[in-house]
Amino acid sequence: MEIPEIVGAGLIVIGAGLGIGRIGGSAMDAIARQPEAAAKIQTAMIIAAALIEGIGFAALFAK
Amino acid sequence: MDKLINDFSVGLFFWQSLVFILLIVLLRKFAWKPILDAVNEREESIEGALKAAEKAREEMKSLQANNEAVLKEAREERERILKEARDMKNKMIAEAKDAAAAEADKTIASAKAAIEAEKTAAIAELKNQAASLSIDVAEKILGQELSAENKQTAMIGKIIEDVKFN
Amino acid sequence: MRSNFTVLIALAGFLFFTPLAYAQGENHEEIQHEQAHHEDAHHAEVHDEASGEKDIKGVIKETIEHHLADSYEFHITEGVGFPLPVILVDGGLKVFLSSEFHHGGVAAVDGAHYKVNHGKIYKTDAAGTITYDDHHHPTNDKPLDLSITKNVFMILVMAVFMFFLFRGVAKTYQTSLAPKKAGRFLEPIIIYVRDEIAIPNIGEKHYKKYMSYLLTVFFFIWFLNLVGMTPLGVNVTGNIAITFSLALMTFIITQVSGKKDYWMHIFWMPGVPVLIRPVLAIIELIGLFVKPFSLMIRLYANMLAGHVVIMSILGLIFIFSSWVAAVPFSFLTLFLSVLELLVAALQAYIFTMLTSLYFGAAVEEHEHH
Considering the domain architecture, whether residues C140 and C162 belong to the same structural domain is answered as no
Check C297 against A47: CB less than 8 A apart: no
Q: Which helix (H) or strand (E) covers residue B162, if one does? A: helix B149-165
Q: Are residues C268 and C136 in the same domain?
A: no
C179 in the same domain as C92: no
> Is B5 an interface residue toward A (CB < 8 Å)?
no
Partner-chain residue, chosen from B14, B35, B41, that has the shortest CB–CB distance to C146:
B14
Q: How many domains does chain A have?
A: 1
Instruction: Note whether residue C131 is domain-resident.
Output: yes
Residue C297: closest CA among C223, C351, C222, C243:
C243
In this structure, the answer to whether residues C120 and C171 fall within a common structural domain is no
Residues C207 and C346 in one domain: yes
Domain end point (choices C108, C129, C147): C147
Residue B15 domain flag: yes
In the structure, what pLDDT confidence band is assigned to residue B86 with cuts at 50, 70 and 90?
A: very high
Q: Is residue C9 part of a domain?
A: no
Question: Quick one: which of C120, C91, C96 has its CA closest to C108?
Answer: C96
Q: What is the DSSP letter of C138?
A: B
The C-alpha of C39 sits at a distance from chain A's nearest C-alpha, in angstroms, of 31
3-state secondary structure chain A: CCCCHHHHHHHHHHHHHHHHHHHHHHHHHHHHHCHHHHHHHHHHHHHHHHHHHHHHHHHHHHC
From the CB of residue C69, how many other CB atoms can be counted at a distance below 10 Å? 17
- Note whether C277 and C291 are same-domain residues: yes
Point out the domain boundary residue: C99, C116, C147: C147
Q: Would the pLDDT of C81 be above 60?
A: yes
Provide the domain limits for residue C101: 85-147
3-class DSSP state for residue C167?
helix
Answer with the residue of higher pLDDT: A51 or C252: C252
Query: C15 in a domain, yes or no?
Result: no
Task: Kindly state the percentage of chain B with pLDDT values over 70.
Answer: 91
Helix H or strand E encompassing B127: helix B33-145
Kindly report the pTM of this predicted structure.
0.71
Domain hosting A40: range is: 5-62
Residue C2 inside a domain? The answer is no
pLDDT at C42 over 50: no
The total of structural domains in chain B comes to 1
Domain membership of residue B43 (yes or no) is yes
Dist CA C44 CA C32 (whole Å): 14
ipTM metric: 0.78
Model pLDDT, residue C244: 92
* Residue C46, in any domain of the structure: no
Q: Are residues C125 and C174 in the same domain?
A: no
Report the pLDDT value the prediction gives residue C287, as an integer from 0 to 100: 84
Q: What is the DSSP string of C31-82?
A: HHHHHHTTT-HHHHHHHHS--HHHHHHHHHHHHHHHHHS--SEEEEETTEEE
The continuous run of DSSP H or E covering B25 comes out as helix B10-27
Neighbours of C35 (CB within 10 A): 10
Question: Where in the sequence is the domain holding B141, given as residue range(s)?
Answer: 11-165
Last residue of a domain, one of C118, C147, C176: C147
Flag whether residue A2 sits within 8 Å of chain B, measured between CB atoms: no
Q: Which chain B residues are within 8 Å of A63, Cβ to Cβ?
A: 1
In a domain? residue B71:
yes
**Is the residue at B4 inside a domain?**
no
Q: Which of C352, C362, C311, C360 is nearest to C332 (CA)?
A: C311
In this structure, the answer to whether residues C308 and C213 fall within a common structural domain is yes
Q: Does one domain contain both C142 and C227?
A: no
Q: Is residue B6 part of a domain?
A: no
Q: Give chain C's radius of gyration (CA, Å).
A: 25
Which residues are C144's β-sheet partners?
C89
The Cα C143–Cα B121 span in angstroms is: 162
Residues of A in contact with B4 (CB under 8 A): 61
In a domain, C80, yes or no: no
Average pLDDT over residues A18-24: 93
Q: What is the CATH number of the domain that holds A24?
A: 1.20.20.10
Write the residue in A39, A46, A54 that is nearest to C294 by C-beta. Answer: A54
C163/B42 CB distance under 8 A: no
Higher pLDDT, B149 or C318: C318
Residues C138 and C171 in one domain: no
Q: What pLDDT is stored for residue A5 in this prediction?
A: 79
Average confidence (pLDDT) over B40-62? 92
Beta bridge partners of C343: none
- Alpha-carbon distance of C350 to C278, in angstroms, equals 31
Q: Which chains touch A (3 or more CB pairs under 8 A)?
A: B, C
Whether chain B has a CB inside 8 Å of the CB on A63: the answer is: yes
Q: Residue B117: which of B107, B106, B125 has the closest Cα?
A: B125
Judged against a pLDDT cut of 90, whether residue C142 lies above it is answered with no
